[in-house]
Structure 1
Amino acid sequence: MPRDLPHDRPHTAPDTVPDATPYDIDAVRAQFPALESGTAFFDGPGGTQTPLPVVQAVTDALTRPLSNRGQVTPGERNAEALVSGAREALADLLGAHPSGVVFGRSATQLTYDIARTLAATWSPGDEVVVSTLDHDSNIRPWVQAAARAGVQVRWAEFDPATGELTADAVRAALSERTRLVAVTAASNLIGTRPPVAEISRATHAAGALLYVDGVHYAAHSLTDIDALGADFFVCSPYKFLGPHLGVLASRKSLLESLRPDKLLPATDAVPERFELGTLPYEFLAGTRAAVDVLAGLAPGGASGRRQRLASSYAALTRHEDGLRRRIDEGLAGLACVTVHARAADRTPTQLLTLDGRSTVDACHHLARSGVSAPSGSFYALEASRRLGLGDHGGLRIGLAPYTSADDVDRLLDALTDFLGQ
């Protein structure tokens, strides 16, 4: 498989660390109608609330002339513009090239599609590596594809005491027969950001491909798939303010080397050969709008969208880090709380268990207090089990761009009230 060509992204300037652009939380929150409900939302890792520009973009797409893609009628041209605009926006967000951006129903569906396609190139005796830190959508498709192809699955284990998945843990699972490594860029359960770039170097030295689950990562970190060394990177716009669909980014040359199942009259062009049926044009419009909202979280003087995204993500990181410290300090004062998100590098996502108390009951109590923080393992079954939490997991607290200090105080007050402290 070709793996040596860059993504050839069309950005005119390298990503830089911008100055400390202010983060106006009130201006950000004003864009989200759902916040008028009065709920403090800490369920962002499962899906964020939707800003008005995304709603308007979806509405505009559906109320203008729209038909199958082409260049003859207004509806055809509108559809073509929506697709190309969304590809360009996601390329800017992920550090990719538009020709390598594939759309699908979900990240899970895209991973299954790529797993089936790659498995057709494997032989008995080959190996794939998955990690216990990952969401099941980056485990089960590879495990099932490996079983059908007669390929061995090897596991990279994370340390439950620290929450860390090291490159050495992945390296220990590699061999000359490794064909693919699947790893998360950020755990949706405990936020751990593994050293993906180092894992990539080890993976490529073994002659294998690297498939990166960036669903949780892309919501909190500006992605550069070349810097990460990802051969495939998958994410979900509804985790970063957009509609429900999935996105996969890769190199055009690598996609051209793969032969997915497709209908006979469907185009064989890349990336379209991976997109089954007619695309959801209105959701592509919403996805482009979501990227533009992200790029405008911290308005500044940057001219290009990639540069505006860099500025906004830097400001968002400062905002979320401050709130995360506020949460961690509040939780430290609650004697019966055990925190499981402990990695040195992690997203603003925390998983709790409560000595002698049910996190499901805690979730219900918080909901009655106007605070949304769910309980579960959130499809990260292997991670939950390795933490000793079985399939039940714990109470997950996740931040989003619209989370405020007042939200955090309401969360801590409601949790304190539940615990009777």
Structure 2
Amino acid sequence: MTARDAFPALRDGYAYLDGAAGTQVPTSVVDAIADTYRRGIGNVGGAFPASHRADEIVLNARAAVADLVGGDPRGVVFGPNMTTLTYRLANTLAAGWQPGDEIVVTRLDHDANVRPWVQAAAKAGATVKWAEIDAVGELPADQFDGLLSDRTRLVAVTAASNVLGTRPDVASITAAAHAAGALTYVDGVHATPHGPTDRTALGADFYATSAYKWCGPHIGAVVADPALLETLRPDKLASSSDEVPNRFETGTLPFADLAGVTAAVEHLAGLATATGTRRERLLTSMTAAEAHEQELFARLLDGLGQIRGVTLHGAPARRTAVAYFTFDGQTPRETAELLAAARVNVWNGHNYAWELTGALGIRDSGSAVRASIIHYNNSEDVDRLLNALST
């Protein structure tokens, strides 16, 4: 049985090259969610078994996400999505900002790691500084030295661009930020599914990820040091828990979906033959997944390069398996519709890379087409896209 066989949705005959917008889920995740409802659950903190099951589900999910990104389960905050969590943390952090303080954001990032900080800074009277991309879509790390000062409070940066795939030198950027006394918020939503993740090595004070990008349900998470979370006071109900990480989670968590989160992490840990702790198995499996994706990506790039009329946007040296391209004589939407008719799923448009597509000069013309590869894709998926564009 291959990893692909675990995904019932893939049996419909389509080539799912849309993983950067959201992945399909394996049977194990579907079963984990359904079984939670079948067994019966209550809210957390009760005196009865169904409530105890909910307590256990939450603890297991925190441990699973911590293993995936290299964090502490006590520092895993859950929310409906990364955007909502980022707004919550931006508003919390900005409560301590003053006029004259500074934040740094980048043109490379998904808007969910830009707009919450820009808007929070505006409310606090803080200054926004921008890190720019270069001609090939890289985010040069050395520019941050000129952007940072003793008034910098936060640097927000992506671990990988969701349209160009660019993997900036996050460790160097965060080291410079920490030297200036600033906190770092790293958007790992696109990066996490495409290789092993080590939050500490990246220097991320806050690391954001979304389970639906790595074969889980629609749940967001931010992972931080519990001691850092203890210093923050978000708005919350007087009657709700003040413990970390619970104080950052508004309302009742989706317990069945959290069971799916744990199942998704277990799926990732089993992508390669490995032994040891779940964290160790994840590192091995995600390394193997990255190698598989990059092999397919080389095939995709080579094929696109041989098709007359295709223009690839961005050529960073180190990137995830995502191609962003336009086709002469067609709008990106028309190209996506052509591929859909050939049973190939791709996305078109800015894909929330608002600043990036603006910097590339393509946002007002419909941006581009995005084809992205995840571990369940195969060479037939890639060839179907190439053949459809070649005819």
TM-score, length-scaled by structure 1: 0.91
Q: What is aligned with 1:19?
A: none
Tell me the amino acid that sits aligned with residue 311 of structure 1: T
- Give 1:73's match in structure 2, choosing from 40, 48, 59: 48
C-alpha displacement of 1:27: 1.1
Check if 1:410 corresponds to 2:384.
yes
Structure 2 distance, partners of 1:58, 1:128, is: 40
- Give 1:172's match in structure 2, choosing from 146, 166, 185: 146
Structure 2 distance, partners of 1:372, 1:178, is: 42
**8 Å contact from structure 2 (residues 307, 389) kept in 1:** no
**8 Å contact from structure 1 (residues 373, 397) kept in 2:** yes
Structure 2 distance, partners of 1:350, 1:329, is: 11
- Structure 2 unaligned regions, length at least 5: none
Q: What is aligned with 1:351?
A: 324
Q: What is aligned with 1:268?
A: 242
- Give 1:305's match in structure 2, choosing from 278, 286, 289: 278
Structure 1 distance, partners of 2:86, 2:206, is: 9
**8 Å contact from structure 2 (residues 195, 289) kept in 1:** no
Tell me the amino acid that sits aligned with residue 206 of structure 2: F
Correspondence list, 1:242-253, <5 A? 242-253=216-227
Check if 1:372 corresponds to 2:345.
yes
SS of 2:208's equivalent in the other structure is strand
Structure 1 distance, partners of 2:146, 2:333, is: 37
Structure 2 distance, partners of 1:259, 1:332, is: 51
Q: What is aligned with 1:191?
A: 165
SS of 1:30's equivalent in the other structure is helix
Could you list the per-position Cα deviations for residues 328-375 of structure 1 after superposition, in whole angstroms to 9, with x for gaps in the alignment? 110111121111131111000110012232221110011011100111
Check if 1:42 corresponds to 2:17.
yes
Check if 1:30 corresponds to 2:5.
yes
Structure 1 distance, partners of 2:237, 2:97, is: 23
Correspondence list, 1:192-341, <5 A? 192-300=166-274, 302-341=275-314
Could you list the per-position Cα deviations for residues 375-405 of structure 1 after superposition, in whole angstroms to 9, with x for gaps in the alignment? 1110101000111112421000100111001
Structure 1 distance, partners of 2:258, 2:26, is: 15
Structure 2 distance, partners of 1:387, 1:43, is: 22
- Structure 1 unaligned regions, length at least 5: 1-25
SS of 1:172's equivalent in the other structure is helix
Check if 1:394 corresponds to 2:368.
yes
Structure 2 distance, partners of 1:170, 1:346, is: 20
**8 Å contact from structure 1 (residues 174, 203) kept in 2:** yes
- Give 1:84's match in structure 2, choosing from 42, 59, 82: 59
Q: What is aligned with 1:9?
A: none
C-alpha displacement of 1:269: 0.2
Correspondence list, 1:130-145, <5 A? 130-145=105-120
Structure 1 distance, partners of 2:347, 2:104, is: 30
Sequence identity of aligned pairs in percent? 51
Tell me the amino acid that sits aligned with residue 45 of structure 1: A
SS of 1:129's equivalent in the other structure is strand
Tell me the amino acid that sits aligned with residue 233 of structure 2: R
Structure 1 distance, partners of 2:301, 2:91, is: 42
C-alpha displacement of 1:234: 0.5
Structure 1 distance, partners of 2:102, 2:46, is: 46
Aligned residues: 390
C-alpha displacement of 1:314: 1.3
Structure 1 distance, partners of 2:121, 2:298, is: 42
Tell me the amino acid that sits aligned with residue 344 of structure 2: V
C-alpha displacement of 1:71: 5.7
SS of 1:92's equivalent in the other structure is helix
**8 Å contact from structure 2 (residues 206, 224) kept in 1:** yes
TM-score, length-scaled by structure 2: 0.98
Structure 1 distance, partners of 2:279, 2:57, is: 19
**8 Å contact from structure 1 (residues 294, 312) kept in 2:** yes
C-alpha displacement of 1:222: 1.4
Check if 1:363 corresponds to 2:336.
yes
C-alpha displacement of 1:169: 2.2
C-alpha displacement of 1:416: 1.2
Q: What is aligned with 1:94?
A: 69
Tell me the amino acid that sits aligned with residue 271 of structure 2: L
Could you list the per-position Cα deviations for residues 262-308 of structure 1 after superposition, in whole angstroms to 9, with x for gaps in the alignment? 000101000000000110001100000000000001123x1211111
Tell me the amino acid that sits aligned with residue 124 of structure 1: P
